[in-house]
Amino acid sequence: MKSYKTLADIQRDLSTGSVSCIDLVDLYLGRIEAQPHLNLFIEVFADEARQRAQLIDQKLAEGTAGKLAGLVIGIKDVLCYQGHGLTASSRMLEGFDSMFTGTAVQRLLDEDAIIIGRQNCDEFAMGSSNENSHYGPARNPVDPDRVPGGSSGASAAAVAAGMCHASLGSDTGGSVRQPAAFCGTVGLKPTYGRISRWGLIAYASSFDQIGPLTQSVEDAALLLSVMAGPDGHDQTAASESVEAYETKLSISPKKIGYLKEAWEHPSLSPEIRAQLDTSIAKLEAEGHEVVPVEFELLEYVVPCYYLLTTAEASSNLARYDGVRYGHRSESAQDLSETYLASRNEGFGQEVKRRILLGTFVLSAGYYDAYYTQAMKTRRLLRDGIYKLFQSCDALLLPTTPSTAFRIGEKSEDPIEMYLSDIYTVLANLTGVPAISVPFGTDSQGLPIGVQFMGRPFEESTILGLGQQLAQS
């Protein structure tokens, strides 16, 4: 069967009858089955996806199908889908079934998307390599000895390996964009609040956003249009009007700033820097003005992100105590032992590290020195980025300092792993939208991602720029 880059291509063939939803589902199921070593799906909803495909083929024949008919999508194992398992790749939630469907997932279903399964990820979305999973690491289809990125690593990898047309991930500090860059797909983190978080397992609530992983910018735009908008279940879901983003991809010339500090950063691989220079030349050739801008606070973004997200995580994850939720230890004799042993057995090493760190930065003696200071820094970062947006329509950055690294290469050194998030966490700290688009490969054939950040709720601009770059 031919390979489809966009849902529009699929829908054209669906309308002529040269392909059906059931053909598509069978194709993806076959690929999932053929590549178990990549470890991308925790659970495949094979029978259900086939049944739904038949139903949607019928709707297509009757002319009643929704906007996403023909879309076969995988969901990261942090998104609620009623009656289906949900574990956040943690032993803590083994055996748990969602009691309701989250808003973003429901909006996809309402437009006739087919959900093919739930995908491996870092435990509770904490990680940059998908190695922190109770179900074992996911592998990068481009080179299975390498990580697919994280935390939505398997979601990006499944798209790259053709096991689904698109995936839904979550991005707290880069978890959609960084795996997209490592696997060669598009990854979009919308403005904070653009998509409801209802039904997304919380990691750090003031940072978390759901976002699509796709093969084309056009599909990312379409999925955003379907999922975005206010929601009575989530007070932080924004009421700004939702555009038909997929129809606004051709844009007028823009002024784009590139962060000098990012270019000059010692951690940035020279091959990625060279690709970024090529991207600037391409954007200029399209008529955009690209100028260097200064952002002296770049060194503060990683510490600020890890102080605040671990603080939020320590509070969000307090609910998993073996009583209200989650794994309950069989060895415990009384209440406090139940808490201790259940949490000790249920959580993995990285999650424990972050709960400890977050509890420490919130503790009475250290609150001002760490949490308050980090909150002040977050404000400065936001002010600094907003100031850049007074003169620039978008900012250009690398998505990652390196291409996909080897499994095990960074897992012994959490600080080194954290530092690799330097270019992605800024968008979450400041709430602005950002997209990573694939742009060439390095000398080993590993994909490189280029990132655009935009003004709040101006997803159209970064989608348009991403589309131009992807097509150039």
Residues 300-359 that bind ligand GLN (CB under 6 A): 309
- Examine residue 137 and tell whether it contacts ligand GLN (CB under 6 A): no
Each residue of 237-270: b (16+ CB within 10 Å) or e?
A: bbeeebbebbebbebeebebbbbebbbebeebee
**Closest distance to ligand GLN from the beta carbon of 247 (Å):** 29
Q: In terms of C-beta density within 10 A (0-12 exposed, 13-18 middle, 19 or more buried), how is residue 369 classed?
A: exposed
- Per CB under 6 A, the list member of 42, 75, 104, 126 interacting with ligand GLN is 126
Q: In the stretch 164-203, what mask flags binding to ligand GLN with x, by CB under 6 A?
A: -------xxxxx---------------------------x
**Closest distance to ligand GLN from the beta carbon of 211 (Å):** 10
Tokens 């032992």 label which residue?
A: 337
Q: In the stretch 410-439, what mask flags binding to ligand GLN with x, by CB under 6 A?
A: -----------x------------------
d(CA 152, CA 135): 14
Would you name the residues annotated as active-site residues? 76, 151, 175
- Per CB under 6 A, the list member of 151, 191, 377, 402 interacting with ligand GLN is 151
Size of site (CB under 6 A) for ligand GLN: 13
**Closest distance to ligand GLN from the beta carbon of 78 (Å):** 9
d(CA 190, CA 427): 9
DSSP-based three-state secondary structure for 143 = strand
DSSP-based three-state secondary structure for 196 = coil
Q: Which residues contact 232 (CB under 8 A, 6 or more apart)?
A: none
Strand partners, 170: 210
- Examine residue 128 and tell whether it contacts ligand GLN (CB under 6 A): yes
- Torsion angle (degrees, nearest 10) of CA 93, 99, 105, 111: 150
- Residue in 32, 105, 42 with CA at minimum distance from that of residue 71: 105
- Per CB under 6 A, the list member of 70, 102, 117, 127 interacting with ligand GLN is 127
- Name the residue whose CB lies closest to ligand GLN: 175
**Closest distance to ligand GLN from the beta carbon of 425 (Å):** 7
d(CA 318, CA 286): 50
**Closest distance to ligand GLN from the beta carbon of 22 (Å):** 34
Residues 39-98 that bind ligand GLN (CB under 6 A): none
- Examine residue 125 and tell whether it contacts ligand GLN (CB under 6 A): yes
Question: Which residues here bind ligand GLN, judged by CB under 6 A?
Answer: 125-128, 151, 171-175, 203, 309, 421
